[in-house]
Amino acid sequence: MLIVGRNVGEIDRLKKELSKSFAMKDLGPAKQILGMRISRDRRNGKFWLSQERYIERALERFNMSKAKAVSTPLGGHFKLSVKHCPTSDEEKEAMKNVPYASIVGSLMYAMVCTRPDIAHAVGLLVGFFPIRGKNIGEQ
């Protein structure tokens, strides 16, 4: 469990109250949770969440660690369609071995936690089925 707040006294009171019902161990200030690294600037009262390592591992897992980084994930005008799908039998068979849902799920987790800037691109991928070449809502 991660407890966050501005008032240290209130946090301590909450921890004492919770410890009456649960076996607890205080691990001190959190450095990481759910694959997110936590950085703090206590003087200015700021903190940051980073999923850099999570994203690096996802890129490695899906054989994309050598992919070229871009500052804009996807232009607003970009649409996925049948022309982006495999056409030959060999390409279609190879695509069956691509863990598309897992890739999109990994991107969704990063988007929800720390990367809202990739929401448009992930939204397009969520509704696209590369083997059939259809978007959600198409017949």
Per residue in 51-65, pLDDT (tens digit) is 999 999 999 999 999
117 plus 56 within the same structural domain: yes
74 plus 109 within the same structural domain: yes
- Under 8 Å CB-to-CB from 56, ≥6 apart: which residues? 65
Whole-number percent of the chain with pLDDT over 70:
92
Q: Is the pLDDT of residue 136 over 50?
A: no
> For the chain, first and last CA: distance in Å?
45
The tally of domains found in the chain comes to: 2
- Tokens coding 12: 């301590």
Q: Is the pLDDT of residue 97 over 50?
A: yes
124 plus 86 within the same structural domain: yes
Cα Rg for the chain, rounded, in angstroms?
A: 21
CB 83 within 8 A of CB 130: no
Note the pLDDT of residue 128: 80
Average pLDDT over residues 27-43: 91
Quote the domain boundaries for residue 28: 8-50
